[in-house]
Chain A
Amino acid sequence: MKRVAVCAVAQHKCDSNIWQKRFQGMLLDVLEDIKEQTGMNFSEEGGVKSIVSASDDVFDARTISDNGMTDVLGAHYREEEKMAQEGLNGLGYAMSVILSGHEDAVYVAGHCKESQGESRNMCTNLSYDPFYGRAMGLDYTNVAALQARAYMEKSGLTEEQLAKVVVRAREWAAKNPYANATKQVELGEVMYSPMLCDPIRTMHAYPVSDGAVGFLLASEEKAHEFTDNPVWLTGFGCCMDSYFLGDRDLASNFALKRAAARAYKMAGITDVRKSVNLVEVMDCFAYQQPMWLEGLGFCGDGEGGQFIDDEGPAKYNVNLSGGMLAGNPVMTGGLYRAAEAVLQLMGKAGDHQAADVNCAVAQSTTGGAGQFHTVLVLEK
Chain B
Amino acid sequence: MEISYENTKDCKVMTGKMALPNQYFAGRVGSKFIIALRDEHKILGVRCEKCNKVFVPPREYCEKCLSKLDESWVELSNEGVITNYTVVNYNDKHLPRRAPYILALVKVDGADTPFPHIVEGIDVEDVKVGMKVKAVFAEETTNTIRDLDHFEPL
Contact = CB atoms under 8 A, between A and B. Distances in A.
B90 A146 contact: no
B89 A196 contact: yes
Contact of B86 (A21, A29, A58, A198): A198
Interface in B12-32: 13, 16, 18, 24, 26, 30
A146 B3 contact: no
A21 B107 contact: no
A246 B144 contact: no
B23 to A, nearest CB: 10
B113 interface: yes
B145 A132 contact: yes
B145 A136 contact: yes
Contact of B87 (A10, A58, A197): A197
Interface string A22-53: 00001001100100000000000000000000
A42 to B, nearest CB: 21
B116 A133 contact: yes
Contact of B144 (A29, A130, A200): A130
Given A26-B1, A136-B96, 20 more contacts: A12-B1, A19-B11, A20-B5, A61-B16, A118-B93, A131-B30, A131-B143, A132-B115, A135-B96, A136-B103, A137-B92, A137-B96, A143-B116, A146-B86, A146-B103, A195-B87, A197-B88, A197-B90, A246-B107, A247-B63
A138 B118 CA distance: 11
15 contacts: A121-B92, A131-B26, A131-B143, A134-B94, A135-B144, A137-B94, A139-B92, A142-B88, A143-B116, A146-B116, A196-B90, A198-B86, A200-B86, A242-B63, A246-B113
A13 B1 contact: yes
Contacts of B96: 135-137
Given A146-B105, A197-B87, A15 B3 contact: yes
A321 to B, nearest CB: 16
B103 A137 contact: yes
Interface of B: 1-5, 8, 11, 13, 16, 18, 24, 26, 30, 34, 55-57, 63, 84-90, 92-97, 103, 105, 107, 113-118, 129, 142-146
Contacts of A133: 116
A362 B107 CA distance: 36
A188 interface: no
Contacts of B145: 131-132, 135-136
Given A29-B1, A131-B26, A119 B92 contact: yes
B116 A245 contact: yes
B93 A122 contact: yes
A138 B116 contact: yes
Interface in A98-136: 118-119, 121-122, 125, 130-136
A125 B86 contact: no
A86 B89 CA distance: 27
A197 B86 contact: yes
A226 B86 CA distance: 50
B111 to A, nearest CB: 8
A247 B105 contact: no
A219 B89 CA distance: 50
A61 B14 CA distance: 12
A320 interface: no
A142 B96 CA distance: 12
Contact of A135 (B30, B87, B146): B146
A142 B144 contact: no
A350 interface: no
Nearest to A133: B116
Contacts of A73: none
Contacts of B63: 242, 247
B1 A145 contact: no
Nearest to B83: A246
B115 to A, nearest CB: 5
B89 A245 contact: no
B144 A33 contact: no
A149 interface: yes
A135 B143 CA distance: 10
A244 interface: yes
